[in-house]
Amino acid sequence: MPYITKENEKNVQLYYEDLGSGQPVILIHGWPLSGKSWELQVPVLLNLGYRVIQYDRRGFGKSFPSSSPEGYNYDELAGDLHELITALDLKNVILFGFSMGGGEVVRYLTNYGAENVDRVALISSIIPIVKQKEDNPDGVPQEKLDEIMDNLKKDRVTFLESFHKDFYNYGMLSHSVSQKQLDYDWSIAAHACPIATIKCAESWANTDFRPELQNVTVKTLIVHGDDDNIVPIDTAGRQAAQGIADNRFVIVEGGPHGLNVTHADELNAVLSDFLMK
């Protein structure tokens, strides 16, 4: 199986899948899943003639966790993305970040610049901020975030079952998912490294990317569902669209957080249009 071994962290090995040829599109998954979450997008991108690379974040999927519990901040995670791009000698890359993965996209542009990046897409992204603050009243309240952290520490596998129902607004949408899809997601999430799951949750919950939006200087697609119960559109998608200079903002009507599954056809059409223009 293909792995990238971190140059300065030999214990961290990043699993990736590399399909097709052409301009590279790197898919960065959300929390608490793995690269498998892009299953409904990969064939579309391949058919468009792109080289599609999906990788598992450290501690998730088939990637090895960090030996340090502090190895899950966004500088470290963006460093993993940089390591992948460097090791595979990728040029003129396109970055797609879903949910937590939007953080890697923006931090990569902050730390490494946009010279090697053609364009980016932020899908159901946590960008620019999740937490409710005095100057961000539409964010997720601290007590709700504390509840998530407490549940992860006390009964992670049970919490993940209910979380994925919220992920898809299960039972509330006409675009519903099957119980098997929920079971599949639970299995992926439950088998992730517990420490990685908790520490990455702390990263996406507590990182404020608002000052970094100025670093997103490339063409950007922002896609967010207006019924996202995990990362509300007003704290994320709408603010990202206001703060990123060159963007196209697409609101998916009735879309939950996991719109890459529930509204896959709609999302894939939007992604295809963005790539081909």
| CA–CA gap between residue 66 and residue 215 (Å, rounded) | 28
**DSSP character string of the chain:** --EEE-SS-TT-EEEEEEES-SSEEEEE--TT--GGGGTTTHHHHHHTT-EEEEEPPTTSTTSPPPSSTTTTSHHHHHHHHHHHHHHTT--SEEEEEETTHHHHHHHHHHHH-STTEEEEEEES---S--B-BTTBTTSB-HHHHHHHHHHHHHHHHHHHHHHHHHHTTTTT-SS---HHHHHHHHHHHHTS-HHHHHHHHHHHHH---GGGGGG--SEEEEEEETT-SSS-TTTTHHHHHHH-SSEEEEEETT--TTHHHHTHHHHHHHHHHHHH-
| CA–CA gap between residue 156 and residue 148 (Å, rounded) | 9
Q: CB of 209 within 8 A of CB of 111? A: no
Q: Which amino acids are annotated catalytic?
A: 99, 228, 257
| CA–CA gap between residue 30 and residue 41 (Å, rounded) | 14
| CA–CA gap between residue 233 and residue 255 (Å, rounded) | 10
